[in-house]
Amino acid sequence: ARRDRGGQGRLVTDLRDEAATAFQEIFGRASDGLWSAPGRVNLIGEHTDYNEGFVLPFAIDRRTIAALAVRDDRMLRIASAFTDELVEHDLTQVSPDVLHGWSAYPFGVAWALGEHGADLHAVPGADIYIDSDVPVGAGLSSSAAIECAVAIALDDVWHLGLDRAVLARAGQLAENTAVGAPTGIMDQAASLFGEDGAAVFLDCRSLESRLVDLRLAEAGLAIVVIDTGAAHDLATGGYGERRASCERAAKALGVAALRDVRVDDLDRARGLLDDTTFRRLRHVVTENQRVLDVVRLLATDGPASIGELLDASHRSLRNDFDVSTPQLDLAVETAVGNGAIGARMTGGGFGGAAIALVPEELTSLLRVAIDGAFAEHGLEQPDIFRVAASIGARRDA
Ligand code: GAF
C-alpha cells in the first residue's frame, strides 16, 4: 500500500505559528500554550524493547505540535491538521472502547494518564489542536510524537508532575490499549528523553536511560533517512506475531524475557525451539549485544566505527526476524554500495524507512544512486532526507 507521506519537514517556527493560528480559527480563542514532541530514528536495537532489552534511538528534527487551552468543564475536544474532524468526549467517559481512528492516540493518552494517577473527574477539560511534520507510517514514530506532545501538555496543565518515564508508559498504554498496537516503550522514551546531538541508550527493563553523544559532525558524518513510502502498520499482523513468537521462546527457555538469554546460550537454545522461533531468538539476542557494542564504540572510536554493526543488524532483521521488505533491502544495499559506512532498516519494519550513516560529502551522490536504483526496479521514488538528533518533548510557548 502506498501512503500519503504527510509532513514535509516544515520549519518548526512555521509549524508553531500555523498551529496557533489554526487553534484560534477552530476554537475561536487563543491557545494557552504550545507543546511539542519529536519523532525518532532508531540507530540500533530493533525489536528488543518488548523483550526488555536495549535500544539506542534518537529524537529527530521533525516534531508534532499540540496547541492547547483549558476549559472550565470536563470536555476534551481535539482537532488536527490530519482531518477536518473535531472529536469530543467527556473526560469522565473516555475509555478505550469509545475511541477509534486518529483521535484514539490523543484521547488514549488522556485516558492512560487517568490510569497513571490523574483524577479525570477533577481535572479541567481542554481544547487541543495537533499538527506535525513527522512523516506518517514511515516507521519514524509519528504516533509516539502525538502521544508524547499530548502527554506533556496535559501533564503540565493538569499539574500532574509525572516524571518522563511515567509519561512514556502512559503513551505506550494508549498505543497498546486504545489504538491496539502491541508496541514496546522505545518510541515514547526516545521522544521524551532525546537531546541535541545525542542518542538515548535505554534499558527497557529498568527504564534507566543515558545519553550517548553521536559525535557525527566532528566525524564529518550524516544520518540519512530513506523513506520507502510503503505503509507500515503495527496494529495488524506481523508485528504482533513477532512479539508473540518472542514470548513463546522466552517461555520455552524458562526466562522472564529474551533479555535474559546471552549469545553464549544460543547453541543450547537451538535444540529447544523450532527453526523459525530460534531465528527470532537469535535476532533479539545478537541485537542486544550489538546495541552494547555500538554504545561502547561510539565512546571509544566514534561513529565511523559502527558501520559493520548497522549492516549486521539489517542482515539479522532480514534473515532471522523476517521484517524487512525488498524496498528496504534495496535502499540498504544501494546505500552501502555508494559510500555509506553502514545502513539498516529502522523501526518495526514491514515497510517504512531505512537509515544510512554516510560521509557528509557523499549525501548527494547517495541520493542520486538510490533514486536510480528505485527507478530501475520500477519502484516509486523514496523520500530521502537528513536527520539531526534533537531535543525531546517540551513546552515551546
Ligand atoms: C515499533 C514499536 F513501536 C517499538 O516499540 C519497537 O518495538 C520497534 O517497532 C521495533 O524495534 O517502532
Interval 241-300: pLDDT, tens: 999 999 999 999 999 999 999 999 999 999 999 999 999 999 999 999 999 999 999 999
Catalytic-labelled residue, pool 187, 311, 320, 396: 187
Report the pLDDT averaged over residues 345-365.
Answer: 97
Q: Is 287 in the pocket of ligand 1 (CB under 6 A)?
A: no
Hey, whose CA ends up nearest to atom 3 of ligand 1? 183
The atom of ligand 1 lying closest to the CA of 139 is 12
Q: Is 184 in the pocket of ligand 1 (CB under 6 A)?
A: yes
pLDDT digits (tens, 9 = 90+) for 186-221: 999 999 999 999 999 999 999 999 999 999 999 999
Q: Which of 42, 49, 172, 247 to mutate to test the pocket of ligand 1 (most atoms within 8 A of CB)?
A: 49
- Tell me: pLDDT of 3 over 60: no
Q: Is 175 in the pocket of ligand 1 (CB under 6 A)?
A: no
Q: Are 239 and 182 in contact (CB under 8 A)?
A: yes
Report the pLDDT averaged over residues 147-161.
Answer: 98
Pairwise CA distance, residues 221 & 49, whole Å: 27
Q: Are 39 and 388 in contact (CB under 8 A)?
A: no
Hey, whose CA ends up nearest to atom 2 of ligand 1? 183
Active site residue 320: no
pLDDT at residue 237, rounded to an integer: 78
Please enumerate in sequence order all residues whose Cβ is within 8 A of that of 43, keeping only pairs 6 or more positions apart, or say none. Answer: 56, 57, 58, 199, 214, 223, 294, 310, 346, 355
The atom of ligand 1 lying closest to the CA of 50 is 7
- Tell me: pLDDT of 2 over 80: no
For residue 82, report the phi and psi dihedrals to the nearest 5 degrees. -80, -30
The atom of ligand 1 lying closest to the CA of 239 is 9
Q: Give the chain's mean pLDDT.
A: 95
Would you say the ipTM is above 0.90?
A: yes
| Nearest one of 370, 312, 384 to 337, comparing CA atoms | 370
Share of the chain above pLDDT 90, in %: 93
The atom of ligand 1 lying closest to the CA of 348 is 9
Pairwise CA distance, residues 350 & 299, whole Å: 32
> For 117, left (φ over 0), alpha (ψ -120 to 50), or beta?
left
pLDDT digits (tens, 9 = 90+) for 158-173: 999 999 999 999 999 9
Please enumerate in sequence order all residues whose Cβ is within 8 A of that of 26, keeping only pairs 6 or more positions apart, or say none. Answer: 79, 86, 127, 129
Q: Is 349 in the pocket of ligand 1 (CB under 6 A)?
A: no
Confidence of residue 228 (pLDDT cuts 50, 70, 90): very high
Q: What is the pTM of this model?
A: 0.96
Report the pLDDT averaged over residues 373-382.
Answer: 96
Q: Is 27 in the pocket of ligand 1 (CB under 6 A)?
A: no
- Tell me: pLDDT of 27 over 70: yes
- Tell me: pLDDT of 232 over 80: no
Largest CA distance in the chain: 66
Q: Which of 175, 187, 188, 232 to mutate to test the pocket of ligand 1 (most atoms within 8 A of CB)?
A: 187
Hey, whose CA ends up nearest to atom 5 of ligand 1? 184
The atom of ligand 1 lying closest to the CA of 42 is 11
Share of the chain above pLDDT 70, in %: 96
pLDDT at residue 12, rounded to an integer: 75
pLDDT at residue 1, rounded to an integer: 42
| Nearest one of 122, 120, 130, 118 to 89, comparing CA atoms | 120
In terms of DSSP bridges, do strands 126-132 and 75-80 run parallel, antiparallel, or are they unpaired? parallel
Hey, whose CA ends up nearest to atom 9 of ligand 1? 348
